[in-house]
């Protein structure tokens, strides 16, 4: 088993990709797939389905919030040095358009706006296949040593 504390954030993602594993187990619940990543930038795809619906017949806001939180946090993850970890401190989400099962695959983009030794700041958006923005977020993560 690989000791992730000896790998940078980018190396950790590459290792998971080589193993064919999702970035986190929760990704399977949201049909979330990492498409591409580089330092400070990530792209995901996800497919909303009826199991993500709230009682009023649209995708629950938690679906978009989870996608956005994952994109912001993973973008920060790509900037980590070996021996560093992070945790979300806050996230602000704006819901701009309704998401339903008929929306189809959504594209999620996350990017770092500033990364430091103690905190990272990121933004993200969710778009439909036509490029319409469905939701946006900004987030702050604490960065700390794992050892």
Q: Say yes or no to pLDDT of 91 above 80.
A: yes
Question: pTM for this structure?
Answer: 0.94
Burial of 112-147, coded b for 16+ CB within 10 Å and e otherwise, reads beebeeeebbbbbbbbeeeeeebbbbbbbbebeeee
Higher pLDDT, 1 or 12: 12
Q: What is the mean pLDDT of residues 115-137?
A: 97
Please, which pLDDT band fits residue 107 given cuts at 50, 70 and 90? Answer: very high
Q: Say yes or no to pLDDT of 147 above 80.
A: no
pLDDT-above-90 percentage for the chain: 83
Q: What is the mean pLDDT of residues 74-90?
A: 96
* CATH code for the part of the protein at 4-145: 3.10.129.10
- Which sequence spans correspond to the domains of the chain? 4-145
Q: At what angle do helices 9-19 and 61-77 cross, to 10 degrees?
A: 120
């Amino acid at each position: 088993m690989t000791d992730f504390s000896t790998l940078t954030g980018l190396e950790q993602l590459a290792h998971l990709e080589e193993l064919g594993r999702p970035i986190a187990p929760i990704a399977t619940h949201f049909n979330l797939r990492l498409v591409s990543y580089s330092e400070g930038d990530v792209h995901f795809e996800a497919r909303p389905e009826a199991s993500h619906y709230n009682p009023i017949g649209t995708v629950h806001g938690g679906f978009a919030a989870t996608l956005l939180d994952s994109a912001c946090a993973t973008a920060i993850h790509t900037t980590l040095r070996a021996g560093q970890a992070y945790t979300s401190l806050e996230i602000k989400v704006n819901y701009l358009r309704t998401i339903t099962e008929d929306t189809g695959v959504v594209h999620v983009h996350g990017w770092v706006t500033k990364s430091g030794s103690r905190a990272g700041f990121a933004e993200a958006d969710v778009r439909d296949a036509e490029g319409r923005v469905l939701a946006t977020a900004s987030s702050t993560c604490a960065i700390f040593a794992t050892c």
